[in-house]
Amino acid sequence: EVQLQQSGPELRRPGSSVKLSCKASGYSITDYLMHWVKHRPEHGLEWIGWIDPEDGETKYAQKFQSKATLTADTSSNTAYMQLSSLTSEDTATYFCARPGGYWGQGVMVTVSS
């Protein structure tokens, strides 16, 4: 059974960074792209980018080019997203998602002083 298990909620200060994880089970992450999506209730869903864990190739939406960095560790079958220079606008729930309709449970990131 395909599962994407994300790390727990995060509280960060403005200006800091955070690294989120998404551990895949039931398949090898090298077999599919891994996407990341941002959700804020008043703004809906926004696509951040994808990584091809097989070769590390990444592609980002323009607005997240300097905000998000996607990586993957094939040895642990885990994808990561680092968010830098955090502001209140980054307070959101972040999901990893795999083609075929599979989503992680989401991780809430709160940015507050």
Residues that bind another protein in the complex, under the rule CB under 8 A: 35, 37, 39, 44-47, 59, 61-62, 95, 97, 101, 103-106
Please report the DSSP string for 29-83 in residue order: GGGS-EEEEEEETTTEEEEEEEEETTTTEEEE-GGGTTTEEEEEETTTTEEEEEE
Shortest gap between Cβ of 109 and another protein (angstroms)?
A: 15
Q: Comparing C-alpha atoms, which of 44, 40, 90 is closest to residue 66?
A: 90
- Closer Cβ to another protein, 16 or 89, answer by number: 89
- Closer Cβ to another protein, 27 or 113, answer by number: 27
Shortest gap between Cβ of 113 and another protein (angstroms)?
A: 26
Shortest gap between Cβ of 106 and another protein (angstroms)?
A: 5
- Closer Cβ to another protein, 82 or 105, answer by number: 105
Shortest gap between Cβ of 102 and another protein (angstroms)?
A: 8
- Closer Cβ to another protein, 19 or 59, answer by number: 59
Q: Comparing C-alpha atoms, which of 18, 39, 9, 7 is closest to residue 83?
A: 18
Q: Please, are residues 4 and 53 in contact by the beta-carbon 8 Å criterion?
A: no
